[in-house]
Amino acid sequence: MFKKTLALAALAVAFSASAQENVLNLYSARHYQTDEALYENFTKATGIKINRVDSDDAGILARLKAEGAASPADVILLVDAARLYRGEVDGLFKPVKSKVLEDAIPAQYRAPATPEGTSWFGFSTRARVIVYDKVKVKREDVDTYEKLADPRNKGKVCIRSGSHPYNLSLFGAVTQHLGEQKAEQWLKGVVANLARDPKGGDTDQIKAVGAGECQIAVSNTYYIARLLRSNNPEDKALMERVSVSFPNQASWGTHLNIAGGAVAKNAKHPEAAVKFLEYLASPQAQEYFANGNNEWPTAKGVKVKNPALQAMSGGGDFKAETIPLAAVGANTVKVQQMLDRVGFK
């Protein structure tokens, strides 16, 4: 009887462990409703249930630090290269070795490999482009990021807060290309050209161009694609008034930021976590990033079929910068200091 009780107890423990392996705890900064299908498809394919906690990038990193070894998080999804870099530097991610991920994701869209593995992988990109009033502004006056600081554009520029992660990453990239001294002078010129103090999100900047508050704005491409795909008459009228410039096609290329993922340092289900990241690199998931949230896939060989992305980029082909995004993240502390010095709010 005693042996039988022990055997039953062992089976119960084994069953409990097995059941726990069919759970994945996800901390996500991807606040896009269209991602629900991604998670559902993963569960259908693997039987692994996803428990999700939503927050912004900064909130997730702060939570991981506060929870420490007690954190239940298995996978972290963030939407900015600088924050992925910060999570890596702060030791919040568990490096992983996965041939699937290494074969699928180009080196420029993932953390530098170490003997322990790779800390994070980018699964989708969004270009940071220039939107302009096509009646009042010539394309050649907005065909580079440098021209945002050109005196010819004085009083014409709208942009969200310089300290927002999307801008910190853009400015970090410009710093990587121009060097610190020239980048700071450029930021000073951008401030001098502002039509109003920075406020609102990217969609607000595009609408400000449509309303005549400014003539030039900076935006991530997926915001533009949403407006292009909208059935709202006001959105249609707005997008008929503006054009989109992919800057620096004749030099280093347009800046790309990424949304990416990592296994949490204290993941309780590390195998399921790696399986989830590998799923995000699959053609099915990558195509969903493109069609569901208007992002460009990072995985090799995946073609974009989203008509809005193709329309704004002239068929889908444009020159993108090739600097490592980890280097962009490393520049953000310097950039914030520059912003403070030039009075960029």
Task: State how far the alpha carbon of 158 is from the alpha carbons of 112, 142, 203, 217, in Å.
Answer: 35, 13, 11, 5
Rg (CA), the chain: 22
Residue 47: predicted pLDDT? 96
User: Which residues make up each annotated binding site for Fe cation?
Assistant: 31, 222-223
Short-list 150, 127, 125, 124, CA closest to 137? 150
Task: With a cut of 70, list the residues of the chain below it in pLDDT.
Answer: 1-21, 314-316
Pairing type for strands 23-28 and 75-78 reads: parallel
Same CATH topology for 19-124+257-312 and 126-255+319-342? yes
Give the number of C-alpha atoms closer than 13 A to the C-alpha of residue 277, restricted to the C-beta side. Answer: 34
pLDDT by residue (tens digit) across 87-108?
999 999 999 999 999 999 999 8
Residue 315: predicted pLDDT? 61
Residue 18: predicted pLDDT? 37
* Contact yes or no for 81/329 (Cβ under 8 A): yes
Residue 21: predicted pLDDT? 63
Domain boundaries, the chain: 19-124+257-312, 126-255+319-342
99: its two tokens: 């041939």
40-47 long-range contacts (CB < 8 A, ≥24 apart) are 41/284, 41/285, 41/288, 42/276, 42/279, 42/285, 45/279, 46/272, 46/275, 46/279, 47/22
Residue 150: predicted pLDDT? 98
User: Which residues make up each annotated binding site?
Assistant: 31, 222-223
Which fold, 126-255+319-342?
Answer: D-Maltodextrin-Binding Protein; domain 2 (3.40.190)
* Contact yes or no for 293/32 (Cβ under 8 A): yes
The CATH H-level (homologous superfamily) assignment of domain 19-124+257-312 is Periplasmic binding protein-like II (3.40.190.10)
Residue 316: predicted pLDDT? 61
